[in-house]
Amino acid sequence: MSRKARERLEHNEKRVERRDKMLHHDRANERATVEEVFDQTTRLVVFSLLNAGTLHEVNGVVSSGKEARVYWGKNKEGKDLAVKIYLTSSAEFKKGILKYIEGDPRFKNVKRDTRSLFTVWAQKEFRNLEEACQAKVNVPKTVAVKSNVLVMEFLGKDGKSAPSLKESPPENPERIYKLLITNLKRLYQKAKLVHGDLSEYNVLMWKGKPMIIDMSQSVSIEHPMAKFMLTRDLNNLNRFFNRLDVNVIPLEELQKQVVGK
């Protein structure tokens, strides 16, 4: 066998080994989930991230939603990563994402086919997270994005995600409330973004800090829906912490603090 043929065979064997590792799950329902998410194009994207060394392995499902599945992954050094794969098969969700893309001056002339929309959606979350991180907002750090696959910091341990505020209300809710207000100020005034879907479900408690996640729908403050989305975010914030007996700031005053006017 020639050297090139041997190298090609070894390369293919490694790809099969990675695929088997990635698709190996103990429970049948997990296998079904993987098959649903990993269409042929998505498989190739994940393989390219494995071959490039961005990922070393992809394990079980950490969370599942209408727009995406999040998997627990690792890099070559063994560091935990979150691998978020947007569901290109979700026709219903596809209809809803256009309003968050159109009107955002950062994303123009977007193609309307499914693959293009979900590629932009993944790029949008990647960019939102990067801009939020630069503004010192508590968000997961980004690693890479390709097509409909986003790789980022994993908030949790041993494949178990950090708890959300909904799952585990904080012991000192007043402190967490103030920290979140500080983060929303930075998000609006420095990153020039509005989260757009803030609630107790997408704030995780990790190492004593509230970490804001799920920023794919976040928009520029110039977006026509930005004011409405900010009001909704702040209402959700006050509603949750009011239930925890925190003396919340009235909505109008809170808006002024966050906007900086």
Higher model confidence: residue 155 or residue 92? Answer: 155
Q: Give the list of residues 6+ apart from residue 95 with CB closer than 8 angstroms, or none.
A: none
Beta strands in the chain (DSSP E): 57-64, 68-74, 80-86, 142-146, 149-153, 156-157, 160-161, 193-194, 203-206, 209-212, 219-220
Q: Please confirm, yes or no, whether 104 is among the known catalytic residues.
A: no
On the question of pLDDT at 44 being above 80, the answer is yes
Q: Which of 80, 214, 233, 245 is catalytic?
A: 214
Give, for 50, the enclosing helix (H) or strand (E): helix 40-51
Residue 193 pairs in a beta bridge with 220
Q: Please confirm, yes or no, whether 80 is among the known catalytic residues.
A: no
Q: Mean pLDDT over residues 146-153, rounded?
A: 96
The C-alpha atoms of residue 80 and residue 57 are separated, in whole angstroms, by 10
Q: What is the pairing mode between strands 57-64 and 68-74?
A: antiparallel
The C-alpha atoms of residue 257 and residue 63 are separated, in whole angstroms, by 33
pLDDT for 41: 86
Residue whose token pair is 């509603």: 239
Cβ pair 212, 199 in contact under 8 A? no
DSSP three-state, residue 256: helix
Domains of the chain, earliest start first? 3-160 (3.30.200.20), 161-259 (1.10.510.10)
Cβ pair 165, 180 in contact under 8 A? no
207 burial (CB, 10 Å; 0-12 / 13-18 / 19+) is exposed
On the question of pLDDT at 25 being above 60, the answer is no
Which pTM value belongs to this model?
A: 0.82
Q: Which of 20, 197, 233, 245 is catalytic?
A: 197
The mean-pLDDT minimum among 2-11, 215-224, 227-236 falls in 2-11
The total number of residues shown for the chain amounts to 261
